[in-house]
Amino acid sequence: MAASHILSQPPSFSKSLKYRSKLSLNPSILKATVPFKPTSRTLNLRAVLSQNPAKTITSDTQTQKFQHCFTKSEDGHLYCEGLRVEDVMETAEKRPFYLYSKLQITRNVEAYREALEGLNSIIGYAIKANNNLKILEHLRSMGCGAVLVSGNELRLALRAGFDPTRCIFNGNGKLLEDLVLAAQEGVFVNIDSEFDLENIVSAARISGKKVNVLLRINPDVDPQVHPYISTGNKNSKFGIRNEKLQWFLDAVKAHPNELKLVGAHCHLGSTITKVDIFRDAAVLMVNYIDQIREQGFEINYLNIGGGLGIDYYHAGAVLPTPRDLIDTVRELVLSRNLHLIIEPGRSLIANTCCLVNRVTGVKTNGTKNFIVIDGSMAELIRPSLYDAYQHIELVSPSPPDAETSTFDVVGPVCESADFLGKDRELPTPARGAGLVVHDAGAYCMSMASTYNLKMRPPEYWVEEDGSVAKIRHGETFEDHLRYFEGL
């Protein structure tokens, strides 16, 4: 369970819901300390730690009940904070649309901030998860930094007012022109390969600025997630292998006017549901840091990336909270007097949003029942791309005589891969009924396309005072035609 959910209120209370800065969070777990031990200079650690038997989460964590900013009340209606989603549907410019709770975003950031108390840290929000400008401005106002993977994400972060010296530029194929902008702005840059190092050196020369760099090292810890979102293994296209570490240290030493090595970075993957995995990686990373320091580098940042999973299944599973994550690396970070950088995307934004759809109709073919909705893989591709599960429910009560059946929930796009959910037990919905896909705040709108000329949907959020505000216009057919003007 994400601790950040625990202030979600049932609809009857949510009108009086006020911003609370003090969340009570789960107590610490897995608090083993690794003593500071000078290591040899072989620079060749193996990821043996990931083979340790998984530790279990304490019962304190398990007793906290999952709650969500979207709640089904006893009247059978789905609410977002205090508002009936069905009512919001009536006022939306078009469907499908994304609906967020601003308060849930606040609560999620607070959960991380509280967890990080006592540590020097940067919460680098991974903009790729959701690049809505209004959301970015809100995250920036709460003190977040940003994690960027393109020049445009950097430009957007600057537009949203992020402090560039709390931003980190990542990526295995960073372009020289984007690196020049990053160097000019004083952004941290992660070195990903030999050619990336060369480009960073060039960018430093072009901009006349020394660049603060971190080495992105693949600790080869298995994150136990879908292969498409696993990144820290030895055959990954990201980062460098530890065998090459000495080469990179020598290369940095050879460019004292262009590069200042300030830290080490790793990112294991996404949707990780065991904090031991982060700890295993952090143990390896601080050992690398020890070895790097032994060579005279004054490096002070450990960046453990993002990747914390969320409860997509809504089935009462107990998932690690931000506090669980931070507590599992806290002593390690303190023992080396390090600044901790984290790069959460999903765990900050996924559970704050639903994709709200309307049922176009219901049909049966062979042994399959289908609910056909207006939303599709164009607006939300995760189920099609990763076979990802996102919880689906109807927004209002069904008539008592509605038969419950097993449905595939599909869109109108001309692809059999166009599904939002498979084999879901749902009451047979009436045409026009509202249906939501939950946990759609991360990697949904930001991965949306205009396939089949389904234009990207509008976005709304419920403000702190319970009003609904549009935070992004829906794209229109006219927007599409504009790309051909004057040709």
**Per annotation, catalytic residue among 80, 266, 353, 414:** 414
Rounded least distance, CB 368 to ligand LLP, Å: 26
Task: DSSP letter for 128, please.
Answer: G
218 or 242: CB nearest ligand LLP:
218
Sign of the four-CA dihedral 201, 204, 210, 214: negative
Rounded Cα–Cα distance for residues 100 and 355 (Å): 9
Task: DSSP letter for 315, please.
Answer: S
307 or 474: CB nearest ligand LLP:
307
Rounded Cα–Cα distance for residues 369 and 188 (Å): 51
81 or 276: CB nearest ligand LLP:
276
Rounded least distance, CB 323 to ligand LLP, Å: 16
**77 beta partners:** none
Of 442, 385, 450, the C-alpha closest to 418 is 385
32 or 175: CB nearest ligand LLP:
175
Of 215, 286, 385, the C-alpha closest to 36 is 286
Beta carbons within 10 angstroms of residue 157's beta carbon = 26
Q: CA-based Rg of the chain, rounded to a whole angstrom?
A: 23
Amino acid (one-letter) located at 326:
I
Positions in the binding site for ligand LLP (CB under 6 A): 126, 129, 147, 170, 229, 231, 267, 270-271, 305-308, 343-347, 382, 386, 442-443
Q: Is 350 exposed, middle or buried (0-12, 13-18, 19+ CB in 10 A)?
A: buried
386 or 451: CB nearest ligand LLP:
386
Please report how many Cα atoms fall inside a 13 Å half-sphere around the Cα of residue 11, on the Cβ side: 15
Rounded least distance, CB 225 to ligand LLP, Å: 9
Could you confirm whether 80 is annotated as catalytic?
Answer: no
Amino acid (one-letter) located at 373:
I
Rounded least distance, CB 272 to ligand LLP, Å: 7
Rounded least distance, CB 452 to ligand LLP, Å: 21
Active-site amino acid positions:
414
